[in-house]
Amino acid sequence: MATPEEQITPADAAIVTTGTGRKGPEEHDLPESLKYDMDLCLEILRNVLGEYNPELLSTFDTVRHYAVEASAEHFAELKDPNPDQDGLKEAVNVIDNMTLHDAQLLAGAFATYFHLANLSEENYRVSVLHERENNVPVDQAVDPINELTVAYHQLINETGPAKAKELLNQLEFHPVFTAHPTEARRKAVEGKIRRVSELLEEYKRLGGSDQKECLRRLYNEIDALFRTSPIALKKPTPVEEADTILDIFDNTLFNTIPKVYRRFDDWVLGDKAGLVEPACPAFFHPGSWIGSDRDGNPNVTAKVSRAVARKFSDHVIAALEQATRTVGRNLTMEAETTPPSAELKNLWSHQKEMSERLTDKAALISTKEMHRAVMLVMADRLHYTIERDADLMYH
């Protein structure tokens, strides 16, 4: 008879079934925070499935149980409590005896389950990285969590500061994005997964009625995630496929990449970061196959490539316009308390020469606030760049 330590616990079963398990014995017992998130998600999903169709919930539990049995055979450190039962065969038999409609519902239930397990693991991984970073003194020579600082510190030791800086300025990273159908997910699904992830983080920090409200929202999102088709009703065009990359840009790249630059500057420049010229170059240069794979997709014509390029350009400029306008609205320092520099006055003069209409509008909104006015003119010029106004756009 297996000992309690060797038995497959519910937590072990969850991680084995979701595919997040590993063969190392230290990973058989989930970390408490990860187990908490996964147990909460599973409880909500089971309630959702039970409300939708009790028979679906029963089948989900049965197949999940058999999957745990089958997975246990591949983990040397775990002892199967039912060694005579062929879990994989039993699971296959259950699915084979289902109608196509019921099998599709079961697939949707497990797809939702795997989404929830994956985002729980991602949340845990991020929390571990933050915890590790918090344990690193800010005055330490390198940040072990930030490989860029480790590599740069090694360069300085091997080549000297001047050569290391020269090599750093040559750093380039060119990720190329695609919309491969096996990797693509609907924006509707992505949005729900993202909101569930955020709500899980909130839930652990809240209490009382606020936590109850958060739980209701979790139920709503997980219920909607299960009921939402993972596949769009029609095949997206190459221009529509561009939305996949734009979603990544909006929710990850536009905010994360500047943080990477600033973190590097914080470690290299210390207290001078933000007061002197940045040390980290803008090395991130993304690209995309979408709308440009002329050989692999006969539907991608020169017209399509141009439309996708325009879509990418306009979207990125619009994000930059919004960020510029936000900065401008916050620069409300009056000229008396924060006198504009000679460089700022010179820039304002150039802006007035270019368009008195834009500068008059900015000056009206920002009386005696030149810092704000200059930024608002920049934001307006970015707007007219999207509009392709030859007189006002950036060239």
Cβ atoms of 125 and 54 closer than 8 Å: no
Gap between the Cα atoms of 389 and 317, Å rounded: 14
Gap between the Cα atoms of 96 and 267, Å rounded: 58
How far is the CA of 262 from the CAs of 9, 257, 267, 277, 278, in angstroms? 44, 9, 9, 12, 8
Nearest to 149 by CA among 265, 258, 274: 265
**DSSP one-letter string for 158-208:** HH-HHHHHHHHHT--B--EE---TTT---HHHHHHHHHHHHHHHHHHH--H
Gap between the Cα atoms of 228 and 188, Å rounded: 8
Gap between the Cα atoms of 287 and 175, Å rounded: 6
Q: Which two tokens stand for residue 376?
A: 């608002």
Query: What's the Rg (C-alpha) of the chain?
Result: 27
Gap between the Cα atoms of 240 and 232, Å rounded: 11
Which is the catalytic residue, given 153, 180, 371, 395? Answer: 180
Q: Which amino acid is at 32?
A: E
Eight-class DSSP state of 252: I
Assess whether 180 carries a catalytic annotation.
yes
Please give the positions annotated as active site: 180
